[in-house]
């Protein structure tokens, strides 16, 4: 076969292969295009995606960087040429033509003052003119800023869309304020627990330490160290969460100090499954239950008694119980305590119950089994897996066994 014919045949083969490849590629593109959905579905996805990206910058104390990033996403949502996010007494961010800052602030002030959308035509710019639409951001009934959109021509659709975006921004601001209120409430609840610990326990502990200074200086020194460890943990300034192991270590210090006062009248049994030691729990959620057992269960019982602390693996949950064989509580009184009644009594019990419900839901509130003269058992269940939630510091000594008297082995 002549060389020219071979070359022509080869070109034909290549061309055929390319044709087949193009057909396959076009089919794939068609399938992918169908998978992406309709134009409306793609537009909905894009809007939701931009909203989710903007939301995280609109909550809490908004910085200039947060405002700038939020403005960029809001501009894309509205399809504006330039967008300004103006917060009263806070940051002003402009994504687009920065020469429009003064105009944006003026329109924002008008929107905030009147509480109504504002439209202005032919706003001068270095390159010509533009239109503007401003809508107030009203959070909790108060105008806290405005969204100002600039476009070559502002139509009714853009005015309405700017108003909707401003309402959405207001919702994010309100959610941020709610988060801040919850954080403040949680801090107040922890402070209440610390206030409960301070006067009663500190006074008794110092008296117990003083009683050993002359008779047994070595024991006095050990108790001083236990007191320091306990107060350092209880009054730390960081972290809303801890681990079961960390809380048990604090409880160990607490009980050693109480045993110095009670002597053999206070017996402790500790049963902990190693699998739950790393479980994250709210800070100061076990210790108040133990203190409640000592103060309200055993202190009033002649001859003292025993406290049993257990932490068991229940599949997806860690189940923690604190039980005492003390004087017990009237079930109606216990119900009133958890409902927020009987102020001044069992503060720790009510506080822990409220925080568990707030963090994990009502189904994770404390379960109290008690009766007069029959002792008290308090049970809490927390999820072992809590994505995005971690203790302020991780216990690196988890897994320590217990001695027969209930003390943790170093």
Core vs surface per residue 305-341: b (16+ CB within 10 A) or e: bbbbbbbeeeeebbbbbbbbbbbbbeeeebeebbeee
Q: Tell me the three state secondary structure of residue 371.
A: coil
Q: In angstroms, what CA-CA distances link 250 with 234, 256, 260, 283, 408?
A: 8, 10, 16, 11, 10
Residue 184's pLDDT is: 53
User: What are the DSSP calls for 266-321, one per residue?
Assistant: EEEEEEE-GGGTT-EEETTSSHHHHHHIIIIIITTSTT-EEEEEEEEEETTEEEEE
Q: Tell me the three state secondary structure of residue 63.
A: coil
From first to last of its 410 residues, the chain has per-residue pLDDT tens of: 444 333 334 334 333 443 344 444 444 544 444 455 666 556 555 656 666 666 666 766 677 888 888 888 888 888 889 999 988 877 788 889 889 988 999 999 999 988 888 898 999 888 888 999 999 988 878 888 899 999 988 888 888 888 888 888 888 877 766 655 555 555 555 555 555 554 566 767 777 788 778 888 888 888 888 888 777 777 665 557 889 999 999 899 889 888 888 888 899 999 999 999 999 998 888 988 998 888 888 887 888 899 999 999 999 999 999 999 988 888 888 887 777 665 556 667 788 888 888 888 888 989 999 888 889 999 999 998 887 666 544 433 333 333 333 344 33
Taking Cα atoms as reference points, which of 367, 347, 397 lies closest to residue 243? Answer: 397
- What φ, ψ does residue 69 adopt, rounded to 5°? -70, -40
**Residue holding tokens 């089919």?**
27
Residue 278's pLDDT is: 92
> Structure pTM?
0.52
Residue 283's pLDDT is: 84
Question: Which domains can be identified in the chain, with CATH numbers?
Answer: 56-179 (3.30.450.40), 216-383 (3.30.565.10)
Residue 381's pLDDT is: 94
**Residue holding tokens 């100002």?**
148
User: Which run of H or E residues covers position 138?
Assistant: strand 128-139
Q: Determine how β-strand 266-272 pairs with β-strand 305-314.
A: parallel
Report how far residue 53's alpha carbon sits from residue 160's, in angstroms, rounded to the nearest whole number.
Answer: 22
Q: In angstroms, what CA-CA distances link 288 with 20, 94, 236, 250, 385?
A: 75, 51, 16, 11, 23
Q: Which two tokens stand for residue 198?
A: 């301070």
Taking Cα atoms as reference points, which of 389, 364, 394, 353 lies closest to residue 245? Answer: 394
Report how far residue 112's alpha carbon sits from residue 85's, in angstroms, rounded to the nearest whole number.
Answer: 13
Q: In angstroms, what CA-CA distances link 360 with 214, 314, 366, 385?
A: 49, 16, 11, 12
**Residue holding tokens 């109504």?**
116
């Amino acid at each position: 076969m002549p060389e020219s014919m071979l070359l022509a045949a080869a070109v034909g083969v290549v061309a055929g292969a390319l044709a087949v490849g193009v057909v396959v590629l076009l089919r794939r593109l068609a399938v992918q295009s169908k998978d992406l959905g309709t134009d409306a579905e793609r537009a909905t996805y894009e809007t939701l995606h931009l909203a989710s990206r903007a939301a995280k910058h609109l909550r809490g104390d908004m910085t200039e960087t947060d405002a700038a990033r939020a403005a960029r996403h809001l501009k894309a949502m509205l399809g504006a040429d330039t967008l300004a996010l103006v917060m009263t007494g806070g940051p002003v961010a402009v994504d687009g033509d920065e020469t429009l800052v003064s105009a944006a602030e003026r329109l924002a002030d008008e929107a905030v003052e009147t509480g109504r959308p504002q439209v202005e035509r032919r706003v001068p710019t270095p390159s010509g003119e533009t239109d503007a639409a401003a809508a107030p951001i009203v959070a909790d009934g108060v105008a806290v800023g405005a969204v100002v959109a600039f476009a070559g021509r502002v139509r009714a659709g853009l005015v309405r869309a700017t108003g909707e975006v401003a309402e959405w921004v207001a919702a994010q601001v309100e959610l941020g304020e709610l988060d801040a209120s919850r954080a403040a409430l949680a801090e107040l609840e922890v402070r209440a627990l610390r206030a409960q610990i301070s006067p009663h326990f500190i006074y008794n502990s110092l008296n117990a330490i003083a009683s050993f200074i002359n008779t047994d200086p070595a024991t006095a020194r050990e108790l001083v160290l236990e007191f320091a460890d306990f107060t350092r943990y209880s009054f730390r300034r960081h972290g809303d969460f801890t681990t079961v192991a960390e809380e048990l270590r604090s409880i160990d210090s607490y009980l050693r100090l109480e045993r110095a006062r009670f002597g053999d009248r206070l017996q402790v049994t500790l049963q902990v499954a190693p699998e739950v030691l790393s479980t994250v729990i709210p800070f100061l959620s076990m210790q108040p239950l133990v203190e409640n057992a000592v103060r309200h269960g055993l202190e009033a019982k002649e001859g003292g008694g025993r406290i049993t602390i257990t932490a068991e693996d229940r599949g997806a949950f860690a189940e923690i119980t604190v039980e005492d064989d003390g004087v017990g509580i009237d079930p109606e009184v216990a119900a009133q305590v958890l409902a927020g009644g009987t102020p001044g009594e069992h503060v720790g019990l009510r506080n822990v119950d409220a925080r568990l419900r707030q963090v994990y839901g009502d189904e994770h509130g404390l379960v109290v089994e008690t009766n007069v003269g029959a002792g008290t058992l308090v049970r809490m269940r927390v999820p072992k897996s809590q994505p995005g939630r971690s203790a302020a510091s991780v216990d690196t000594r988890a897994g320590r066994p217990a001695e027969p008297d209930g003390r943790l082995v170093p």
